[in-house]
């Protein structure tokens, strides 16, 4: 399973790009608003930081305007993936974009039926929102599992991009449930490194090594 960063902060993205662990970026209108910067400028900078799929979302609600917005966003960089909402117009825009060989990420997915429609429209990625679904008392991980089963049986080429991830456990479970990608906020990426036994083990190694008085360099 690939790891993307869910952020529109060039500071955060640049720090994670250096690790080589993150191979793509997802943004959304809320994240871009939070950056407080002009959208075209931020997206251009993000594309220079990571050479992989960079999702940029349309903001119109009708498919005709979505297509015009998509054209502007794609002019920024070839790695831009057009993100459309899982609405009738969004899926119509998806169908027309994919026919022009433009990659599409269908976002705000909360049911397997919605995911099936996105795959029928030819989506490159489907983004089920795990955390927001969990908040309603329905399991986000079960949704990923259901989508994976449907996509496998129907031989769809759409990749499952688990979004709205709230914990390291979400990441492990999403990978086991069949997600191809998980997009994570920087704080969850950071949490993936940590285990108390790693910290404890390192303390012991450092103390033992100090006693030898040696240096590798």
Q: Which residues are catalytic?
A: 83
List the interface residues with ligand G3P, window 157-196 (CB under 6 A).
163-164, 183
Smallest gap from residue 134 Cβ to ligand G3P (A):
10
- In angstroms and rounded to an integer, the radius of gyration of the C-alpha atoms of the chain is 19
Closest CB to ligand G3P among 117 and 181? 181
User: Can residue 105 be called a binding residue for ligand G3P (CB under 6 A)?
Assistant: no
List the interface residues with ligand G3P, window 111-130 (CB under 6 A).
129
* CA dist., res. 212 & res. 138, Å (int): 55
- Name the DSSP class of 16: H
CB neighbours of 139 closer than 8 A, spacing ≥ 6?
A: 133
* CA dist., res. 139 & res. 145, Å (int): 10
Closest CB to ligand G3P among 178 and 185? 185
Closest CB to ligand G3P among 148 and 163? 163
Q: Greatest CA span in the chain, whole angstroms?
A: 70
* CA dist., res. 172 & res. 174, Å (int): 6
Given 9, 10, 26, 114, the residue binding ligand G3P (CB under 6 A): 26
Report how many residues bind ligand G3P under the rule CB under 6 A: 9
One DSSP character per residue, 92-113 reads HHHHHHHHTT--EEEEEE-SHH
**∠ Cα 187 188 193 (to 5°):** 100
Closest CB to ligand G3P among 9 and 26? 26
Smallest gap from residue 75 Cβ to ligand G3P (A):
22
Distance of CA 48 to the CA centre of its chain: 18
List the interface residues with ligand G3P, window 127-146 (CB under 6 A).
129, 131-132
The contact set with ligand G3P (CB under 6 A) reads 6, 26, 28, 129, 131-132, 163-164, 183
């Amino acid at each position: 399973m690939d790891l993307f960063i869910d952020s529109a902060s060039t500071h955060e993205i640049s720090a994670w790009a250096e690790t080589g662990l993150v191979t793509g970026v997802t943004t959304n209108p809320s994240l871009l608003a939070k950056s407080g910067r002009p959208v075209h400028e931020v997206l251009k900078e993000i594309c220079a930081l990571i050479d992989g799929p960079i999702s940029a979302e349309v903001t119109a609600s009708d498919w005709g305007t979505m297509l015009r917005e998509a054209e502007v966003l794609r002019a920024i960089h070839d790695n831009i993936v057009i993100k459309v909402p899982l609405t009738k117009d969004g899926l119509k825009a998806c169908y027309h974009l994919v026919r022009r060989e433009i990659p599409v990420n269908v976002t705000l997915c909360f049911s397997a039926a919605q995911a099936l429609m996105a795959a029928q429209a030819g989506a490159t990625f489907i983004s089920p929102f795990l955390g927001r679904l969990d908040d309603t008392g329905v399991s986000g991980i079960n949704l990923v599992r259901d989508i994976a089963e449907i996509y496998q049986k129907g031989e769809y080429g759409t990749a499952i991009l688990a979004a709205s991830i709230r914990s390291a456990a979400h990441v492990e479970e999403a990978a086991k449930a069949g997600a191809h990608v998980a997009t994570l906020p920087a704080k969850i990426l950071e949490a993936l490194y940590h285990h108390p036994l790693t910290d404890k083990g390192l303390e012991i190694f450092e103390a033992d090594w100090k006693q030898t008085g040696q240096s590798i360099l």
